[in-house]
Structures are given as C-alpha cells and as structure tokens.
A and B are shown apart, each in its own frame.
Chain A
C-alpha cells in the first residue's frame, strides 16, 4: 500500500549499518572517542552528532508513531546525549505538505512529543529538551512527490548549549 521511497529511508538505513560496523570496529580498537563512528566532526561535536548518530527521524504519512528505524536512531541519540550531557536541545517536529497548515502544526507537535517521550524513556532528562513544531512551513526537500514528502515528515534534534569540553 505504501510505496517506500528510495532516497531518504534507504540512505538512513545505510547510515545505521555503517555506524554499527564502525562502532564494533572501534570497540575492538578500544578507541573511545570513535565510539559513535568515524565520520565527520570531532567526537562530541554537533557535526559528530549529525553525521555519526543521526539528528533526525522520519515518520509515516499522518502518523507520529516511532518506526523501528526511528527508535534505533533515538536510542543512539540517547546514548550520545548521555555521554555529552552538557548539551541542551530542541526537538523540532515537521510535517509534509500533504496536510492542511493548522493540522500540521499539531501533527508536528505530536511528532516532537513522541521523540521527547522516547528520549526521556531512555534516561535523558526532560529539563534538557524543549519541543517546537513548524508544521509544513520548513520543508528540507522541495519536490512535489512522495520522495520529498517522506524526508519532510521528520523530527530533528537540534543541539544547543555548551558542548562537553
């Protein structure tokens, strides 16, 4: 019924696999700094978070349920955020353009809340996070078909505050 887009999800999946391999390789070397992958960015940096952990999760159409892939990403986020505990962060909820503007503000808020609640369940303090929703006002992918919409149905963890020194 639902046509899985090639782009966003496939890329995401590949990234998760690569990160897992990197993590196991690093564990063997005992390279603690590389625990979350050997990609771009110094360990503990915002780039490290975005590139090696994944700063965003994706949702099905008109849904705020966390997919298994999203849960896996959020578990990694929680591990990283536990280690680099000086960061506070904002969870931005977003929707695709296939919904009305006002409903999408509420839908984006639901997605941000689902993300928030999952991170709390993984031991991250709620006092470090805030949630906002941009509805469909801030798309990252701008074509008019399903391959873009799937990238826009997202919750993004945006770091702020001082990183651990």
Chain B
C-alpha cells in the first residue's frame, strides 16, 4: 500500500493514508452547476467498531453531506443490508434496490488515546471503489475525522474543494434587544463544539480569522464607548489593541498572508481605510476621502481590495490596488451595496444589497458583471465564504439574528444551529 502522510497530519497529529482500490477509478461525479441538478442518493451505514462511535461518525458525515445540498442521504431504516462489513465487497444489489448511487463503508478503532478510522466510497452502479482513506489521530478529534471523510466524499463527487473541516467565529447574542450581551464564539462549521472567546463584558463585533485560524481580529468597545480593533490569539487567549489610532477603528480583516490588518479609521465623521503591518506596526493610509470607506476585503492573491464607499452619494462597491490610490466602482444595480467579501477562489465577490424594504445577499464577478441575488428578505447581512468558495454564511434578523448558509447556485438556504442568537459569522480556511 502506498504510504503517504498528508500535510494535514503535521499540525494536528493526524495521519491520512489513501486506501487504494483494486479496480479502476469509477466515474461517480455530479455537475454542480447543471440547471436540473438533483442531489445524489447516498447510503451511509454506521461505521463498524467502538460502540456507538461508528454511528456518531456516520451521523456527522451524513449531516455534512445533506447540508451541502449535493447529497440526499438515505434513511437508515430503508437499508436492506443492516450490518456492513468494511472487509468484504458490499452486496451492491441490496444498495441498488434502495436507489443508492453511492455507498460509504468504514470502521473506527480506538487504542488508548488514539483513534483509527477508514472509509471507502463505492459507486453502487458499477460496484467500484471511488475513493478511500484511513486516518489516525487523537480520539478527541472524532468529529474532525468525520468532517475529513465528508470532505473527501464531497470533493470526489463534485470535483470542488472540501469545506466541512472548518470553523466559524461569530458573535453570540443574548439578553434583551436594547442591551444585547455580545460574545465572540467559535464553533465547528456544523454548529458543534461552541466555545466562547470573550466574557460578554465588552461589546464585540465583526470577528475575522487570520489565515492560520489561530488568531481573530475584531472590534471591541471600551466601557466609555471608545471602540478599537483588537487581536485575539485563540490558543493563548492573549489580546491586544491593533495600533494607536486617533479615532474609532473598525471593520478589520487580515491580509491573505496574515502580515497586515486592513481596517477603517473614523476621524471627524469620515472613515478611511488603513493597513497596519503587524510586525513593524507601520500604518499606511489607503483611501483619502470625506466619505465612509469601510468593509475592505483583499483579493485572494493580496493585490487588490474591494470595499464599500458612499463617496458617490450612496454605499457602492469599489476595487482598488492593495496599495491604495484610485478606485473603480463595480456595483451598478439597484440599491445600496455593502460588506463585499472576495471569494477564496477569486471568482466572485459576495455582498449585502439593500433596497427600499429588503436586505439581500448576492454575488458578482470582480468586474461587477454577473450579479445574482441568492436570498432576499427583511434582513440578511454580512456574507462570509466557505473555504471552497461555493457556500456563504450570513446572518438574518427575524426578531433576533441567526446564522444561515446558502450556496452560490441559490439551491441551499439552511439555518446553522447556534445556542442563542448569532451574527457576524466568519468562516475559517480549511483547518490544518
């Protein structure tokens, strides 16, 4: 067997090895952008071994795949073959009989603190293995193993990158509307493992991950109302104020290389965009207008910044070089455009669009063409991209903000479970 340690293993104590199929690669694929797309029926029996751990791993995989909108996991009660051994060829007839196109088999084992997991994805029609992988990791990481398996399946079938092994940082909101307690919270992409990063004694908003997902930059208010951009190291808990600016700083985001934070500085009622180099602490002014310039977002190659400005009278989207200077307007549709976010693939910019009575989330190409609104209603705000550039989370306020996920085709629009109200989701890169 071809032994290969993936890059992933290094940071997380996780070893991943492909399980090579004896037969030729099967052609089990879906085309995501086809107009008459139908989710692929997939059977995900409980993985074998270790009490209910195999069932829990299978449930996380099924939930991920269902939420992607690409798969339709088949109800386990419909299975003819109840106990699926990972060691023998599946009885494909019994899976064809319930119209499964894909089948996942696998097992989990635990020894002391380590966990071993393996899976195979089968093309039920041809009876061939489409892909397979085994993983060794800390047993506490069982949910991550499930997400990695779901990512492997999703990538194999769609040809797109995975996105399940990722996290969300967001603002947890509790208490009455006129005095909401806001805390930074961290959770897995599916809403599991919620952890609070701040105590709620300060008003905090708009968190964003660093490229390594180890740090978060956000805006926080001191008790006297002074607001500034902060940095928080998730692992150490260390916090600091970014820069020493003579006014309110807000709207922070990391550069793609993680070396700078770009943000807005408000002075005498105007907001302009600045960067601060995190090593040298040098600040650079990128815009110089008497307008509100805010919500900057770098292109994934770091050469350009899209931002919103009301320099022309109302909020619109503009693109400029990452070094600042002249900007060109890219939004020309109806309404006010704000909170632009450049896709990690570089192909789209997502935004909030406000018309007379509604807030929508949409995407356009970086030159402003191809605009599409994905969801629209009383309130939708603040999109953030999944690591594969095919999904967005945002928040929708219907008497209290909740987080939702949509995909760029507009087919998916589902709630992301959070313990209380939540806003300002920011998606991490794939974990490493």
Q: Are A102 and B294 touching (Cβ within 8 A)?
A: yes
Q: Describe B's contact surface by its main secondary structure.
A: strand
Interface membership of A53, Cβ < 8 A: no
Q: Are A133 and B266 touching (Cβ within 8 A)?
A: yes
Given contacts A100-B381, A107-B292, A137-B203, contact A114 B269 (CB under 8 A): yes
Q: Which single member of B269, B354, B382 contacts A64 (CB below 8 Å)?
A: B269
Q: Are B205 and A109 touching (Cβ within 8 A)?
A: no
A138 to chain B, nearest CB (A): 7
- The count of chain B contact residues (Cβ–Cβ below 8 Å) is 42
Q: Are B227 and A133 touching (Cβ within 8 A)?
A: yes
Given contacts A100-B338, A103-B295, A106-B271, contact A132 B206 (CB under 8 A): no
Q: Are A102 and B206 touching (Cβ within 8 A)?
A: yes
Question: Binary interface profile of A, 11-53, with partner B (CB < 8 Å = 1, else 0)?
Answer: 0000000000000000000000000000000000000000000
Q: Are A102 and B315 touching (Cβ within 8 A)?
A: no
**In the complex, which residues of chain B have a beta carbon less than 8 angstroms from the beta carbon of A142?**
176-178
Interface membership of A147, Cβ < 8 A: no
Q: Are A132 and B227 touching (Cβ within 8 A)?
A: yes
Q: Are A110 and B381 touching (Cβ within 8 A)?
A: no
Interface membership of B226, Cβ < 8 A: yes
**In the complex, which residues of chain B have a beta carbon less than 8 angstroms from the beta carbon of A110?**
269, 292
Given contacts A64-B269, A133-B248, contact A138 B178 (CB under 8 A): yes
Interface membership of A105, Cβ < 8 A: yes
**In the complex, which residues of chain B have a beta carbon less than 8 angstroms from the beta carbon of A113?**
268-269
Q: Are A140 and B248 touching (Cβ within 8 A)?
A: no
Interface membership of A9, Cβ < 8 A: no
- The count of chain A contact residues (Cβ–Cβ below 8 Å) is 29
Interface membership of A55, Cβ < 8 A: no
B373 to chain A, nearest CB (A): 16
Complex Cα spacing A94 to B117, Å? 53
Complex Cα spacing A90 to B381, Å? 30
Q: Are A137 and B205 touching (Cβ within 8 A)?
A: yes
Complex Cα spacing A112 to B227, Å? 14
Residues in B192-216 with C-beta less than 8 Å from chain A: 203, 205-206
Complex Cα spacing A16 to B277, Å? 51
Question: Binary interface profile of B, 301-331, with partner A (CB < 8 Å = 1, else 0)?
Answer: 0000000101000110000000000000000
Q: Are B226 and A132 touching (Cβ within 8 A)?
A: yes
Interface membership of A80, Cβ < 8 A: no
Give 27 A-B contacts (CB < 8 Å), ordered by A residue: A90-B225, A92-B225, A97-B379, A100-B354, A100-B382, A101-B381, A101-B423, A102-B250, A105-B248, A105-B250, A106-B264, A106-B271, A106-B292, A109-B248, A109-B269, A110-B292, A113-B269, A132-B224, A132-B227, A132-B248, A134-B203, A134-B225, A137-B182, A137-B205, A140-B178, A142-B177, A142-B178
19 A-B pairs besides A100-B339, A110-B269 with CB distance below 8 A are: A62-B314, A64-B269, A100-B352, A100-B354, A101-B382, A101-B424, A102-B294, A105-B219, A105-B248, A105-B266, A105-B294, A106-B294, A113-B269, A132-B225, A133-B227, A134-B225, A137-B203, A139-B177, A140-B178
- Chain A residues with a Cβ under 8 A of chain B: 62, 64, 90, 92, 97-103, 105-107, 109-110, 112-114, 132-134, 137-142, 144
Q: Which 10 A-B pairs have the closest CB atoms?
A: A113-B269, A132-B225, A106-B292, A142-B177, A106-B271, A110-B269, A100-B338, A102-B251, A109-B266, A105-B250
